[in-house]
């Protein structure tokens, strides 16, 4: 059986209470999350979070969902601490009812949350010199009744499968991705480039966090989302990811097949996967 990673959600489809007043799209939401140390690492520095949260519109009931993947950076055990602290901050923030359901204002609020987490990680590093270089990637998907918001820093990813077409919604904040964007490197060459794992942006690692990638999403029944750490998408091609998501009978089936594929191809890094069906 796969080893479970750090999670702040309950087990087994997580026993989440479905929002009674939500649109049909969210009423039918199903998900599964899983994390594995991989075959080459001494510890799992990934953390993830899957939870429902209250909105004012839903009263004291659960009106929205949050999904997040964080891949920690830094030695001395500080990488897993950074990702774990990040998920703890997210959980605390979404514990209170979400007041504003205007998409643009929700997007800005999540952007501010990223900056707040960034400051807390940097403050911890200053107070604990052994963790000077701690940080984490962070990819977040928030789903409300009739829209979604994604926010992202680093090289974890969010994908959406819609009508059999897989789209990567996030941009990798890496040295090689910048080279690809500038036309200096092909995607195929990037896979073996010596700096392929070098991040240009992460939470907690810089004096000032550069621009966070945020986006308001339309959501539709039948959408399938995947959040993953690079231990998955560095090992498994987008073509295989798309095929697995299309063929999965439910989120658990897809997630477990993707994990097995990453391990079969070498399991070079921690692997964290969240699959969401609408």
pLDDT tens, per residue, the chain with 278 residues: 333 344 543 333 443 434 344 457 898 999 999 999 999 999 999 999 999 998 877 565 668 999 999 999 987 789 999 999 999 999 999 998 898 889 999 999 999 999 999 999 999 999 999 999 899 999 999 999 899 999 999 999 999 999 999 999 999 999 988 898 888 888 888 777 887 888 999 999 988 898 899 999 999 999 999 999 999 999 999 999 999 999 999 999 999 999 999 999 999 999 999 999 99
Cα separation, 181 vs 228, whole angstroms: 22
Which neighbouring-strand residues pair with 165?
162
Q: 6-168+200-277 maps to which CATH number?
A: 3.60.40.10
Name residues whose C-beta falls within 8 Å of residue 236's C-beta, 6 or more positions apart in sequence.
258, 261, 262, 265
Three-state secondary structure call for residue 155: coil
**CA 139 → CA 61, 65, 152, 181, distances in Å?**
25, 14, 4, 21
């Amino acid at each position: 059986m796969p080893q479970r990673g750090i999670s702040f959600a309950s087990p087994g489809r997580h026993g989440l209470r479905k929002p009674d007043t939500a649109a049909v799209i969210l009423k039918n939401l199903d998900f599964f999350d899983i994390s594995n140390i991989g075959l080459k690492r001494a510890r799992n520095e990934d953390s993830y979070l899957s939870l429902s949260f209250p909105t004012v519109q839903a009263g004291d009931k659960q009106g929205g969902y949050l999904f997040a993947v964080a891949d920690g950076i830094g030695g001395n055990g500080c990488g897993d601490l950074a990702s774990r602290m990040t998920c703890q901050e997210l959980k605390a923030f979404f514990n209170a009812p979400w007041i504003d359901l205007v998409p643009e204002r929700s997007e800005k609020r999540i952007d501010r949350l990223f900056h707040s987490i960034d400051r807390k990680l940097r403050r911890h590093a200053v107070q604990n010199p052994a963790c000077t270089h701690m940080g984490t990637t962070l990819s977040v998907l928030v789903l409300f009744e009739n829209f979604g918001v994604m926010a992202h820093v680093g090289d974890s990813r969010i994908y959406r499968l819609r009508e059999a077409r897989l789209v990567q919604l996030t941009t990798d904040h890496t040295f090689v991705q910048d080279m690809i964007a500038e036309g200096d490197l092909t995607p195929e060459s990037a896979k073996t480039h010596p700096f392929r794992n070098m991040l240009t942006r992460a939470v907690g690692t810089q004096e000032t966090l550069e621009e966070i990638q945020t986006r308001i999403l339309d959501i539709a029944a039948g959408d399938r989302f995947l959040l993953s750490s690079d231990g998955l998408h560095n090992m498994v091609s987008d073509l295989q990811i798309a095929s697995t998501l299309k063929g999965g009978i439910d989120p658990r089936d897809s997630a477990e097949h993707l994990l097995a594929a990453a391990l079969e191809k070498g399991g070079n890094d921690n692997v964290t996967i969240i699959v969401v069906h609408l």
